[in-house]
Amino acid sequence: MKKETFFITGLIVCFVFMSTVVFAAEGITLKEVADAIAKMLISGRAIIAENQELINTHNATVINPSPEGQPQSFKGFVPALFGMFVSKRFYEDSGIRVKQTTRGRGVYKARNEYNIPDEWEADKLLKFEEGMYERDTGYGEVITKGDIKTYRYVRPLYIEESCLKCHGDPMTSHTKDGKDISGRQMEGYQVGELRGGISVTIFLRE
């Protein structure tokens, strides 16, 4: 399973990289490029979330993702980990930084240090939470700090049905202790609530 998951990750990275090259050649705007990259990562995360039984069930196949009587063994290959793998590989291949980020919910902050928002990301996510930005449209701007100019973009990431197995109501915990399959506390999100965002940073040349 490990080989297959890394192969899938590699294919998605290659596809996103080639798409970025094509967009640039066609004169597409920076916002459109950043949005396409963010959407691709969101799509990949959704596939991983929807196929947790296939990933974690012994002898599971694409045709039969839930074979009867077969035990499950949690492998840890969740959407957030997938996203981190893709983001790191994509940065190595393209120089474009992609990051999953979240302010958390109430007392529950980001589950992983890697996903803690920086000052710019935290400000934009808060504005999405407060309805200051359109719900289904990302926000981007050019930022100059010293000699470094970047285009920064964040697209909101909302809770879907497949997210609830890990981030939903603690009362629905599979282990009956308010925690998800990874042993993390479930935060009580509902479908449609803002979970965080996909942040894209493109380094610009003069």
Distance from chain centroid for Cα 74:
20
* Tens of pLDDT, residues 132-186: 998 889 999 999 988 899 999 999 999 999 899 899 999 999 888 999 988 899 9
Three-class SS state of 108: strand
Q: What is the DSSP letter of 178?
A: S
Look up residue 5 and give its two tokens. Answer: 């998951």
Q: How far is CA 52 from CA 107, 149, 151, 173, in A?
A: 27, 40, 34, 15
- Average pLDDT of the segment spanning 176-199: 93
Least confident of 5-19, 50-64, 67-81: 5-19
* pLDDT at site 26: 56
Mean pLDDT of the chain: 87
Which residue has 């939903």 as its token pair? 168
Decide if 152 contacts 141 (C-beta within 8 A).
Answer: yes
Name the nearest CA neighbour of 200 among 141, 134, 148.
141
* pLDDT at site 198: 97
- What is the percent of the chain where pLDDT is above 70? 86
Burial of 73 from C-beta contacts in 10 A (0-12 / 13-18 / 19+): exposed
What size, in residues, is the chain? 206
pTM of the complete model: 0.82
Q: How confident is the model at residue 102 (pLDDT cuts 50, 70, 90)?
A: very high
Q: How confident is the model at residue 16 (pLDDT cuts 50, 70, 90)?
A: low
Q: How confident is the model at residue 5 (pLDDT cuts 50, 70, 90)?
A: low
Q: What is the DSSP letter of 161?
A: G
Number of domains in the chain: 1
Which residue has 């793998």 as its token pair? 85
Name the nearest CA neighbour of 164 among 126, 143, 191, 139.
191
- Average pLDDT of the segment spanning 107-117: 91
Q: How confident is the model at residue 191 (pLDDT cuts 50, 70, 90)?
A: very high
Look up residue 52 and give its two tokens. Answer: 């947790």
Domain of 166 in residue numbering reads as: 2-204
* pLDDT at site 136: 86
**CA 102 to CA 139: how far, in whole Å?**
15
* pLDDT at site 146: 87
* pLDDT at site 18: 52
* pLDDT at site 123: 97
**CA 45 to CA 12: how far, in whole Å?**
11
* Tens of pLDDT, residues 26-57: 567 899 999 999 999 999 999 999 999 899 99
Q: How many other C-beta atoms can be found within 10 angstroms of the C-beta atom of residue 77? A: 19
| 21, pLDDT greater than 60 | no
